[in-house]
Amino acid sequence: MKILYYDCFSGISGDMNLGAMIDLGVDKTLLINELSKLSLKGWNLITEADQRHGIGGTKVTVIQTIHDHKHRQLSDIEKIINDSGLDDKTKALSKEIFMKVATAEAAVHGVEVKKVHFHEVGAIDSIIDIVGAAVCFNSLKVDKVYVSPVELGGGFARCEHGTLPVPAPATAEIMKGLPVTKGGVDFEATTPTGAAIVASLGTNFGERHVFKIEKIAYGIGQKDHPEVPNLLRVFIGETIGDTGGHDAILMECNIDDMNPEYFEYISDKLFSAGASDVFLTNIIMKKGRPGNILNVICEAGQADTLKEIIFTESTSLGIRTLPFRKDTLSRKFEVIQTIYGDINIKRSYYKGAEVSCKPEFDDCKRIAAEKGIPVKDVYNNIMALLIKRKTK
């Protein structure tokens, strides 16, 4: 199973995260092209190679080319994202990260979420940092995200509300319940934006994570500390052996009063927003009425986003949320050459041994439509090629 590991020994900020993602191999041109779909004027993304304590990495700075003093509310941010040309999955993750900040700010200031005014996080650079984080994450196509204890920093930091103790109140609220350390450096090591990114993406938190490292990258922070390198270190790796088990969420609701044609649309939206699986179960409800259970499997951090889709798009009045353990095979994706051109295939492993190998069915459908041949012929021909290669 492919994993992304955040080693936050010197904290995390939005620009450190973008630097680490580009250093990891996310294409800068792809990132800028996707961010341009926001139709948000007045910014440039500057990337440069730099070092901290002799360790090389990538430093990213978002430069605002126009003065932007707007105090945006969550609805303003969501409108910018919803009106963009970004794909649904990136929109959903971006809004989820912003919701983490909004919920924390609401708790700190004692106001409703919809009345929260974003100051620093509502500025252009923070919007670019958060939406950029969503673009980068979705491009990596990882199965899980591991997060080390997050260093929060120490001392005091200046912000819109004056001088505040580190961590900023919103950062502390976001990181509540997650493993952290404090005082490793004497500045604001983790910002609300950085905290919201790892809190939204993380599936496993803590010290002990067993995996095989495949690639290491560094995102460089704006400060240069004399004792601790101001770096965000990230790894791409594979889990080792039978370590595919983790906690997940099953959400389900009974529906007997909705046009069944809506289910396909709702299912597509749930998948686009990050659901691992969506399926229907036929049931008989009270008074003998036929109905369906809408079942959705997801990671814990995605539950709020998916609940919103269910409540707004379906006729459901309530959702049952059940935590459970999910055991999965390790998987690898690769591209192979076939008579139809390049095809994506998925290999699955149990205890290191391959147990299945098959083409991505979306590729088979695309080829069948393009060439006007039965999809079963495309699928069977590719499977025959895979079997032939395996027996050589």
Q: Can you give the CATH number for the domain in which 386 is found?
A: 3.10.20.300
Domain shared by 296 and 347, yes or no: no
pLDDT of residue 122: 61
pLDDT of residue 116: 84
What's the number of domains the chain is made of?
3
Domain shared by 102 and 221, yes or no: yes
pLDDT of residue 207: 66
pLDDT of residue 304: 85
Residue 287 domain boundaries: 245-327
Final residue belonging to a domain, choices 327, 349, 370: 327
Domain shared by 274 and 286, yes or no: yes
**Whether the predicted pLDDT of 243 surpasses 70:** no
Average pLDDT in the chain: 90
pLDDT of residue 206: 79
How confident is the model over 330-352, as a mean pLDDT? Answer: 85
pLDDT of residue 308: 92
- The span from the CA of 113 to the CA of 110, in Å, is 9
Cα-based distances in Å from 283 to 253, 290, 294: 11, 6, 11
The two tokens of residue 111 are 């106001």
Of 183 and 1, more confident: 183
Final residue belonging to a domain, choices 274, 308, 327: 327
pLDDT of residue 279: 97
| pLDDT tens digits for range 73-115 | 889 999 999 999 999 889 999 999 999 999 998 998 888 888 8
What percent of the chain stands above pLDDT 70?
95
How confident is the model over 25-46, as a mean pLDDT? Answer: 93
365, 343 Cβ separation under 8 angstroms: no
Domain shared by 104 and 158, yes or no: yes
* Residue 200: closest CA among 107, 129, 116: 129
How confident is the model over 132-151, as a mean pLDDT? Answer: 93
pLDDT of residue 69: 61
Final residue belonging to a domain, choices 183, 208, 239: 239
Domain shared by 294 and 349, yes or no: no
| pLDDT tens digits for range 158-181 | 766 668 899 999 999 999 889 999
Angle of CA points 123, 47, 9, to nearest 5°? 80
Domain shared by 140 and 269, yes or no: no
Q: Which of 10-24, 35-49, 301-315 has the highest mean pLDDT?
A: 10-24
pLDDT of residue 65: 82
Identify the DSSP state of 185.
S
